[in-house]
Amino acid sequence: MITLKAPWPAIQTVTYLPNPEFGDTENLVQTISTFKSMNNTRYTYVKTRDSRRTVNFRFNLTQAKAFELMEFIRAYHRIKIQMTDHLGQVWLGYIITNPNEVESRALAIKNATAMYGHGGIQIQFEGFKQ
């Protein structure tokens, strides 16, 4: 389970999400610069910024939970939040995905009267492990 708490440090809102789908990624935020000297020799420099990392998650959510997540992202986009991921790691950082869209995946009919839609959404988080 993933927990999103915002804004940091005066927490007002908490959102719980299920575990992400298989294939979540974690990358260092870095810049690669390539230069060519006058004698045609190439030099490459990798600049790492303070061990910041980006994490990508993809969720399969019900329609109501997807709308809840979208409202959370609208309210706290580019505002510092605390995230506890499905591995138990605590992060401080920002949701940087823009725009967020919900992909319609399935429509389940329950008791032949109520219909519940499911959708996929992807979020990208950038921050520091605590």
- Please write the tens of the pLDDT for every residue from 51-80: 778 888 888 888 788 888 888 888 888 889
Q: Where are the domains of the chain?
A: 2-129
- Please write the tens of the pLDDT for every residue from 9-67: 888 889 998 888 776 656 666 667 788 888 888 888 776 666 778 888 888 888 788 88
Helix (H) or strand (E) segment spanning residue 73: helix 63-76
Non-local CB neighbours of 12 within 8 Å, separated by 6+ positions: 6
**Cβ pair 69, 26 in contact under 8 A:** no
**Residue 35, pLDDT score:** 85
Instruction: Round to whole Å and give the CA distance between 17 and 6.
Output: 14
Cis peptide before 99 (omega within 30 of 0): yes
2-129 fold = Elongation Factor Tu (Ef-tu); domain 3 (2.40.30)
